[in-house]
Structure 1
């Protein structure tokens, strides 16, 4: 029994010693692995406070408005078709709980700011002017319309013009027809009359004299009384230097003439050895490029062939007339042609004014609608993100940001609407004004030629 008690006591001592060592070892191990508190990582950079980037502003010669400057900002990474609400929320989770209203506004806007810069540039550079350019019937463009037209008449005074006709000589009928033509000319036009073949005689001895002379017997306004005085002194005498007359006509056309039409009245072919076809081409290539029309007065087939070539070289037409009545009919047809041409000019001008005005009005409407649609989309997304920050993340200041985005959307929407409306109205009124200009001038010109012809 004594031995058993001794064994149990020894075992107890050994066990007690082992427990003490275990506790000591455990304590040492605990001291070797100290405890660390886990802290939530904060973003190294506060991206919502970064300065936004802007597109280069167009050179307009004026200061941009406040709203225009705002809309030139570059879009956010989650704007337009790139919007992803989950990515936006994840990014906004980096905002601290105590973020103020300015920080929340900047953060949301930096992510979803829409791209307005193309539409804004369109409005900044928008020009509501309606520019229509239709070639006028006198072959000159609209900017020359205020200048006068010049009519140059070259009259054959060779001996053959003394031949008898229905109402006197060919020369008599030509003079009468020219006077009738002058009475129908527009009031602001100028006129010159150059004669050839009026010197010497048709005899060989006078050929050099006759072929070497042409003379401008009248220059000035379309004054039939003064023209009659100049023509009355004229007598048909000599040879037919058509080429020389054409070469000297360029000196008769005023420098400020917007257009010029040359009429050659002749009863025969060139008889002085010059080349009227070459001279007609040279004259047609001069300055304002006059049109050369040839009126063959009782000419034979050979003369018709030559005179047609002269007219073609001068970009004009050849017409055959047999009497005063036919010559007057020629002038009437010329004015009927002008009436038709002015009618076509008017119609084309009004059509282009309508088309260009409508094009500008559509551009104004489409641009404004795009700005308004984007502002509404941007606000809708901002509302969604504000609600997330307020309801799920419990950011105290999130709710107060709503009014800021509402005001922003209102300002942008109104800019799009009012600018679109103003540009649309300006384009409409400008187009209407140009339309009326073509309508009024076309009608006035048509009526002018109508009364002069009938």
Structure 2
């Protein structure tokens, strides 16, 4: 340090010492500092019931509730909290989890659906059932005979025409004739016994086409009843299923004359997957013929009816229309009862989600609220003992208001669902009555 005076040299040393001392002191103090603890942010508590239903559950909600741990957390609260501050903190700790039950309640479908089978296929509500009607008409030579009212074949055609024109809207109908070729002489037996024809294939009724089909044949030959029943089974085999109703009407005036076994074929028809309803109509049949036709009907688990005139046949088919009307009335009454049951089931769901008493871990929203309010009130009492509240009464009143408003909300939700479900039930009843009236009007 040449050139420096003694005083200057001391000044440099002193300055250097101060700088070094300052640096080392700062470093030491810095190494001893602890990070400042962040204060937890307390969100504003929900006040409106709909918002309360969506609140984030508190740290001690549900099964997490532990009174000692809650009190330890309450001890950390600042002193002299305002009502709002205390309310926010308490809900943050003790708010219950309403969301699962509430969301399930709000997603409940208030419509009433009834899935009852119907006698036709044109119904949109409830479920659909296809009706197929196949008519087997004996066109053997004996059908050219006369009975009271005229020629049997003419009377049969007229009755079948009227019946087919009145099948329910959307139903399908078919007409198969047998024994309509050759003649009833022995030389033509082979030809006649092979005559088995679907003159009107299964489809919706068309008056002009059906009339043309009826005019295509005359009574002439033998009676291949067995092959006609076998053919009917083939005609309907693709219509097996729960939502299909297959009905087979057989109009015959005599026994099998072509060597077939109509009883055996009827049994096969009845046991097939198409599950047909078989109706045998004996038209002016002698005793032997009646015995065979009854066996045919029994083998197919069907029914047999004898008619002796055109009026009898017409009355029988009219009776079939009335039977179908009765089916619709029965369907209507049963469907209404089902709609009532569905209403009751859905109202029970609403009641359980809202007001079910505690059962194990399950309870309704009202009891979740009750549990929350009990825990909040216990916490208020503890905070008061610890002198951490500015106004205990105001806080208790706020919690009481929360309880009353939310209880009222639950009652209004129940009333709303009751009204919606009642409206849904009445609309369904209206649909049912309208469909019954529409279908029955076709038979008036």
The normalised TM-score by structure 2 is 0.72
SS of residue in 1 equivalent to 2:53: helix
CA-to-aligned-CA distance 1:380-399 (integer Å, 9 cap, x gap): 55234313321x22124684
Partner in structure 2 of residue 208 of structure 1:
190
Partner in structure 1 of residue 157 of structure 2:
175
CA-to-aligned-CA distance 1:96-136 (integer Å, 9 cap, x gap): 36547699769866986667577446415523232212232
Partner in structure 1 of residue 439 of structure 2:
445
1:149, 1:190 within 8 Å by CA — same for their partners in 2? yes
1:72, 1:116 within 8 Å by CA — same for their partners in 2? no
Change in Cα spacing, 1:98 to 1:116, as seen in structure 2 (3 Å) is closer
1:109-124 correspondence runs (5 A): 116=98, 119-120=101-102, 122-123=104-105
CA-to-aligned-CA distance 1:419-443 (integer Å, 9 cap, x gap): 4344333322222221111111112
Rounded Cα–Cα distance in structure 1 between residues aligned with 2:210 and 2:389: 97
How far the C-alpha of 1:204 sits from its partner, in A, is 2.6
Structure 2 gaps of 5+ residues are: 1-39, 41-49, 356-363
1:244 matched to 2:227: yes
SS of residue in 2 equivalent to 1:295: strand
1:337-352 correspondence runs (5 A): 337-352=323-338
How far the C-alpha of 1:170 sits from its partner, in A, is 2.0
1:301 matched to 2:280: no
Partner in structure 1 of residue 29 of structure 2:
none
1:132, 1:352 within 8 Å by CA — same for their partners in 2? yes
From 148, 164, 182, the equivalent of 2:146 is: 164
1:132-151 correspondence runs (5 A): 132-137=114-119, 149-151=131-133
Rounded Cα–Cα distance in structure 1 between residues aligned with 2:223 and 2:251: 11
SS of residue in 1 equivalent to 2:75: coil
From 68, 71, 85, the equivalent of 1:92 is: 71
How far the C-alpha of 1:285 sits from its partner, in A, is 5.0
How far the C-alpha of 1:361 sits from its partner, in A, is 2.3
1:260 matched to 2:246: yes
Rounded Cα–Cα distance in structure 2 between residues aligned with 1:212 and 1:73: 87
How far the C-alpha of 1:303 sits from its partner, in A, is 2.3
Rounded Cα–Cα distance in structure 2 between residues aligned with 1:73 and 1:430: 41
Rounded Cα–Cα distance in structure 2 between residues aligned with 1:69 and 1:318: 71
Partner in structure 1 of residue 321 of structure 2:
335
Which is higher, the Rg of structure 1 or of structure 2? Answer: 1
CA-to-aligned-CA distance 1:283-318 (integer Å, 9 cap, x gap): 345564332211111223332232223223334311
Rounded Cα–Cα distance in structure 2 between residues aligned with 1:143 and 1:282: 34
Change in Cα spacing, 1:155 to 1:380, as seen in structure 2 (3 Å) is same
How far the C-alpha of 1:235 sits from its partner, in A, is 1.8
CA-to-aligned-CA distance 1:363-420 (integer Å, 9 cap, x gap): 3244334423542453255234313321x22124684865774675467546634543
SS of residue in 1 equivalent to 2:297: helix
2:96, 2:369 within 8 Å by CA — same for their partners in 1? yes
Change in Cα spacing, 1:287 to 1:68, as seen in structure 2 (3 Å) is farther
Change in Cα spacing, 1:406 to 1:209, as seen in structure 2 (3 Å) is same
Partner in structure 1 of residue 134 of structure 2:
152
From 389, 413, 420, the equivalent of 2:414 is: 420
Partner in structure 2 of residue 393 of structure 1:
386
Rounded Cα–Cα distance in structure 1 between residues aligned with 2:415 and 2:56: 21
Partner in structure 2 of residue 230 of structure 1:
213
Rounded Cα–Cα distance in structure 2 between residues aligned with 1:142 and 1:135: 11
Rounded Cα–Cα distance in structure 2 between residues aligned with 1:290 and 1:423: 44
- The worse-fitting range, judged by mean Cα deviation, of 368-377 and 342-351 is 368-377
Rounded Cα–Cα distance in structure 1 between residues aligned with 2:58 and 2:215: 77
How far the C-alpha of 1:226 sits from its partner, in A, is 4.2
The normalised TM-score by structure 1 is 0.70
1:9-48 correspondence runs (5 A): none
From 269, 275, 282, the equivalent of 1:283 is: 269
- Number of equivalent positions: 381
Partner in structure 2 of residue 320 of structure 1:
306
Structure 1 gaps of 5+ residues are: 1-48, 50-63, 80-86
- The worse-fitting range, judged by mean Cα deviation, of 377-386 and 148-157 is 377-386
